[in-house]
Amino acid sequence: RKEVEQDPGPFNVPEGATVAFNCTYSNSASQSFFWYRQDCRKEPKLLMSVYSSGNEDGRFTAQLNRASQYISLLIRDSKLSDSATYLCVVTPYSSASKIIFGSGTRLSIRP
Amino acid sequence: NAGVTQTPKFQVLKTGQSMTLQCAQDMNHEYMSWYRQDPGMGLRLIHYSVGAGITDQGEVPNGYNVSRSTTEDFPLRLLSAAPSQTSVYFCASQETGGTEAFFGQGTRLTVV
């Protein structure tokens, strides 16, 4: 089983829609969680950290469910510019120096 | 502020050639790492370092060497290039474990 698993998509949704992705992780002792965004042929960039109580940044909401070992990302009122691949990232407690990436979920917003 | 700088951006190698991918960061980060990204596979960790003089293997280390003689630089060496090493390579740095990773722009390597 992969340490971090994501639905690869692609998710193809109309502009203005709400879309959500989940990411599951296998190590119950994992400590830090993030969502990164990667545009085509570019480097990944941090979208937001994921905190235990959940957090929001504008149209983006991230949540952590430790009991079920998953994190989620919700995008409201999606824009064309949200089209990208979204990468789930986890730092395992036992290897705090490493970060583990999911394979990414492709999102395409259509006009 | 340059952040993480990778060179070269593109490279074509013949099977059996060796080369070094350069990575430098100017943020005084202790943690640096190398990833490769293949279609549908996400980023896979090759090698990482938690400080000058300290390196360790990641998920896919075979065929690659690293060294960390300074905080700023973390070069990745391909010993004898193989077509299976055709990929996009990203270098990243972090202040400490569990913090935001900053990436270089990537090196697109093709081995023929």
Residue A29: band (very low, low, confident or very high) from pLDDT cuts 50, 70, 90: confident
Instruction: Please report the pLDDT score of residue B108 as a whole number.
Output: 96
Burial class (CB in 10 A: 0-12, 13-18, 19+), B14: exposed
DSSP secondary structure code for residue A80 in this structure? G
- Contact, B10 vs B87, CB < 8 A? no
Q: How far is Cα B25 from Cα B27, in angstroms, rounded to an integer?
A: 6
> How many A/B residue pairs have CB atoms within 8 Å?
54
Beta bridge partners of A19: A75
Q: How far is Cα B48 from Cα B76, in angstroms, rounded to an integer?
A: 10
Has residue B39 got a pLDDT over 70? yes
Residue A31: band (very low, low, confident or very high) from pLDDT cuts 50, 70, 90: confident
Residue in B with minimal Cα distance to A87: B42
**CB-based contact, A72 to chain B, within 8 Å:** no
- Contact, A38 vs A25, CB < 8 A? no
Report CB contact under 8 Å: B33, A98.
Answer: yes
Residue indicated by tokens 């490769």: B36
The amino acid present at B7, given as its one-letter code, is: T
Residue B7: band (very low, low, confident or very high) from pLDDT cuts 50, 70, 90: very high
